[in-house]
């Protein structure tokens, strides 16, 4: 049984890794201007299942759809497998179910972007709203898959005392991560739709009243990012100081990712254009959410005590003497 649980956990982590690759490839689709590669048809590409003699844009978008479909199927496998392997009420079953819920909504949001043609150079007002929804849903998806993997080999119980003390602060931290990413999405959209020839001209556009809203508010992204990093640094250090050994893994990873994220974000801004720093910046944002989710889960839960530890002492003594 334990071997099967570890196999399930490895599959869940593999699913999480593939999902991160799908997310990065989706960003590359946008940055390369390939969002309209398959046209407005979904889930088909240019009205066919497999396009023949595809252009480069079509191939990039088609690969994204195929990898997204594979990730979707793997999450379905996680849910079915969890229901066969774990008892009713187990945390892993709930997290696997939420993973599928967010994967379905992720697919529907992607379909809406394609069918409404809110891709490439579209300036439709609804595009900003659905991209914001898309980003928050993506974070919830990767958090759910991670918790599925982490709970696969652990019998978790909610630590009510810790929840009363820390839940609101941890929720605020997760919300700030989402808010930072939302402003990042809007900033990236503004830079793509209204590119500036030079970095200086781009900064000037941020403060011109005639500039579109998505350009004028992108200055908020670095401000929110620094605020979020400072809050999370304080939160992690203050909550994990008493149990540094227990929470060293997720806490250390989060602090390292936050520092590297700020550095890469600044480098991507200075570079003014290259795709690679932007993709690394996005990857680090996802890793920050993963690390924070793991840290929060460790803070709010505890391992269920083995069944024998709950037996009366005289019963355990009699068994040991026999």
What pLDDT is recorded for position 320? 43
Could you give the CA distance from residue 142 to residue 120 in angstroms, rounded to a whole number? 25
Neighbours of 148 (CB within 10 A): 30
Q: What is the mean pLDDT of residues 68-75?
A: 96
Alpha-carbon distance 148 to 199, whole Å?
A: 43
- What tokens does 193 get? 């739709």
The predicted pLDDT at position 247 comes to: 53
| pLDDT given at position 12 | 97
In the prediction, which pLDDT does 271 show?
83
> Is residue 322 very low, low, confident or very high in pLDDT (cuts 50, 70, 90)?
very low
Q: How far is CA 208 from each of CA 122, 272, 308, rounded to the nearest angstrom?
A: 22, 19, 69
Match 């048809």 to its residue by tokens: 41
Is it the case that residue 23 has pLDDT exceeding 90? yes
Specify the range with the lowest mean pLDDT, choosing from 24-33, 145-154, 303-312.
Answer: 303-312
Lowest mean pLDDT among 151-160, 217-226, 292-301, 307-316: 307-316
* pLDDT at 89 > cutoff 70: yes
In contact, 65 and 43? CB cutoff 8 Å: yes
Q: Has residue 87 got a pLDDT over 50?
A: yes
Mean pLDDT of 253-269: 92
Reported confidence tier of residue 242, pLDDT bands at 50, 70, 90: low
Q: What is the pTM of this model?
A: 0.89
Distance CA 28, CA 25 (A): 5
**Mean predicted confidence (pLDDT) in 296-319:** 55
- Mean pLDDT for 270-284 is 87
Cβ-defined contacts of 277-283 (< 8 Å, 24+): 278/27, 278/31, 278/188, 279/24, 279/27, 279/28, 279/31, 281/184, 282/23, 282/24, 282/27, 283/20, 283/24
């Amino acid at each position: 049984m334990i071997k099967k649980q570890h196999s399930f956990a490895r599959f869940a982590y593999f699913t999480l890794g593939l999902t991160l690759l799908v997310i990065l490839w989706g960003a590359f689709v946008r940055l390369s201007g390939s969002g309209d590669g398959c046209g407005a048809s979904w889930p088909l590409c240019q009205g066919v299942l497999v396009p023949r003699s595809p252009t480069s844009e079509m191939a990039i978008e088609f690969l994204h759809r195929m990898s997204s479909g594979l990730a979707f199927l793997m999450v379905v496998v996680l849910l079915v497998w969890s229901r066969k392997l774990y008892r009713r009420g187990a945390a892993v079953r709930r997290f696997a179910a939420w993973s599928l819920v967010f994967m379905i909504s992720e697919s529907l949001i992607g379909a809406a972007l394609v069918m409404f043609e809110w891709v490439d150079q579209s300036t439709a007002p609804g595009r900003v709203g659905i991209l914001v929804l898309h980003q928050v849903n993506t974070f919830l998806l990767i958090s759910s898959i991670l918790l599925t993997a982490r709970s696969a080999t652990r019998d978790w119980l909610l630590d009510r005392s810790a929840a009363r003390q820390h839940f609101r602060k941890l929720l605020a931290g997760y919300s700030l991560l989402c808010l930072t990413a939302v402003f990042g999405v809007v900033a990236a959209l503004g830079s793509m739709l209204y590119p500036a020839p030079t970095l200086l001209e781009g900064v000037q556009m941020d403060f011109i009243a005639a500039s579109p809203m998505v350009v004028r508010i992108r200055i908020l992204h670095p401000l929110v990012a620094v605020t979020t990093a400072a809050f999370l640094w304080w939160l992690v250090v203050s909550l994990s100081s008493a149990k540094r050994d227990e929470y060293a893994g997720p806490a250390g990873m989060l602090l390292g990712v936050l520092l590297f994220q700020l550095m890469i974000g600044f480098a991507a801004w200075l570079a003014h254009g290259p795709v690679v720093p932007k993709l690394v910046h996005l990857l680090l944002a996802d890793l920050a959410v993963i690390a924070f989710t793991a840290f929060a889960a460790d803070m709010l839960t505890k391992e269920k005590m083995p069944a024998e530890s709950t037996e009366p002492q005289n019963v355990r003594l009699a068994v040991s003497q026999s």
